[in-house]
Structure 1
Amino acid sequence: MRFPSLVRGTLLERYKRFLARVCLDDGTQVTASVLNPGRMTGGDDGELERGYAVPNRSIVYLVAVRLEARTKHPYRWVLATEPWTGALVCVHTLVANQVIREALETRSAYLMEAIGEALANDETSDTIEPMTYCTLERERRFPLSSTNGKRSRQRAASNGTQSHAIRPSSRCDFCLDQRVFIEVKSVTMCGSRQGLVLFPDAVSSRATRHLHDLAAIAQERTPSETALGRQQRQALVIFVVQRSDPPQALSPAETIDPAFAMAMRHAARCGVRFLCHWLRPSIRAVDATQSSWAGELSWTPVLGPETKPPGCVSPRRSIPVFLSQEAAAQYLQSMDRAS
């Protein structure tokens, strides 16, 4: 994905959650819309000074909004530098969803192989088949018939998990062949200089609900579908890291949103699969005066360790995903000792 014409400035303040006041390089002060509901913080505890929305310190890049877009504000904030690490971060959270959609529509070999490995029953097999599908749906409603029934609640109790009733309005980002339900999450928070990234950077009841919905899908076993020879429904979460510094591991931000961390562990027990990929942002000056800039986000393939680390729930074609910050920290420490 490209942003061919950006202007640069310094963040003065972020206010009302979805607005930012910016001083452009030429001294003009403008208001930009912010398509990011998070806190834009960093560090283990979500500190403002370790994030990428630090007043008078964060350098930001804005894209001009088209006149026909019917918006009150002429600019949209898309990229920012993080003073703590110097990393470039994509602020626009909807970019992750757009890039995954394009990769699914074009059947990107990299993504198809990763999804195939994530959904495989035996990840250690030498013959992992790439994901293939016929139909792709966006904003697909979750099925309700058997997931909310008595049989599902009894099965959840026998497995030591909790049953969750899917709301009629619940939807997933993408659905493949009416059986693989995919949710995409944009990751921008840096947890440590060792390459730990965390999600979410603010309490997100919506993200927690999405995990419970996917868990209900993943633990479903419908006798009628088995009798008809239909394949079991599967659920997948794809985390997309939108930072320029190399991510080494991902975990839930337990101190910021413990409910999400618990939901993620519950989802893993129910059979939800996880992937984490790197969408690397970059920026360059278009002219010698540096009055115009061009930004780009590109897929950067990542392979995890050959042997799955303790606590890791992702396949090898993924940045390692852990269910706790402690497990992720231990993995990164072992990486440091090995190097």
Structure 2
Amino acid sequence: MRFSEPLLEGRLIERYKRFLADVVLETGERVTAHCANPGAMMGLKEPGSRVFLSRASNPKRKLAYNWEFVEIAAGGGPLQLIGINTSRPNLLVAEALRENRLAPFAGYDRVRPEVKYGRNSRVDFLLEKDGEQPCYLEVKNCHLMREAGFAEFPDCVAARSAKHLYELADMAAAGARAALVYVIQMRAERFDVARDIDPAYDKAFRHALAAGVESYAYICRINPGEVTIDHPVDIVTPR
């Protein structure tokens, strides 16, 4: 996914009220950007960090910028760009599905986003093909790295995400295909659930796996002009 115009570079002043971030641009201008990330953003919001912003597509929006990337030495590893915008993974997965770059989900004729299912929920994507059971696909953004090369999710208590896992498990138990894709917006060699941060999510994840829900983790290739799903990495949670 290429950005429609070059991102703006700056330095983070602070992230506050969960969805706001003050940034000093290279020009010296101080702006407030939308931070599309409700999580703890552990290690990603240090003042002075190099950040990249995109311009909002709606010129009438109150906040004219979106915070896209931060550059840090995640987990003590080398400096790298990390995507913090949690609205991007669904777009990245939709792009990869259109381009047939996600091998486990090749061959479906129809991809429908935001379809109602379960107990008053919406699945990120419903994949369909005549004569086959549908595939319920949930997408999660991963940006937590406490050890170099080791990505984790979630970075805070994620009750809503746990609920989705139980609903995916119900779909699998009913005979449908159900899957979870973690989009890791950084470089990593492996992935696991951060069970010490949210034991309830870990319990839901294990329940979903036992019910037949598939799980996949993909890292992204990131530069200031583009972010793209790259290749899968191992999920190391004991099965």
Q: TM-score if structure 1 supplies the norm length?
A: 0.65
What is the distance in 2 between the residues matched to 1:249 and 1:175? 27
Which one-letter code corresponds to 1:82 in the other structure? I
Between Structure 1 and Structure 2, the one with more helix by share is 1
Task: Tell me the equivalent position of 1:189.
Answer: 144
Task: Tell me the equivalent position of 1:258.
Answer: 199
What is the distance in 1 between the residues matched to 2:104 and 2:147? 26
Task: Tell me the equivalent position of 1:239.
Answer: 182
Task: Tell me the equivalent position of 1:76.
Answer: 66
Task: Tell me the equivalent position of 2:163.
Answer: 209
The CA deviation string for residues 163-214 of structure 1, in whole angstroms up to 9 with x for no partner, is xxx41x2111011126210001111111311x11000111111111110100
What is the distance in 1 between the residues matched to 2:19 and 2:234? 31
Task: Tell me the equivalent position of 2:31.
Answer: 30
Q: TM-score if structure 2 supplies the norm length?
A: 0.90
Task: Tell me the equivalent position of 2:17.
Answer: 16
Give runs of ≥4 in structure 1 deviating > 3 Å: none
Contact 1:250 1:320 in 2 (8 A): yes
Matched, 1:54 2:55: no
Unaligned runs of 5+ in 2: none
Report 1:172-187 matches (<5 A). Answer: 172-177=123-128, 179-187=134-142
Residue in structure 2 matching 1:198, options 137, 142, 152: 152
Between Structure 1 and Structure 2, the one with more strand by share is 2
Report 1:2-151 matches (<5 A). Answer: 2-3=2-3, 4-41=5-42, 51-56=43-48, 58-66=49-57, 68-83=58-73, 84-85=76-77, 86-106=79-99, 108=100, 110-111=101-102, 113-115=103-105, 131-142=106-117
Which one-letter code corresponds to 2:86 in the other structure? T
Report how far residue 236 of structure 1 moved. Answer: 0.3
What is the distance in 2 between the residues matched to 1:69 and 1:251? 39
Unaligned runs of 5+ in 1: 42-50, 116-130, 143-165, 221-231, 284-294, 302-317, 328-339
Task: Tell me the equivalent position of 2:226.
Answer: 296
SS in 2 for 1:53: coil
Which of these two proteins has the greater Rg computed from alpha carbons? 1
Residue in structure 1 matching 2:122, options 171, 190, 197: 171
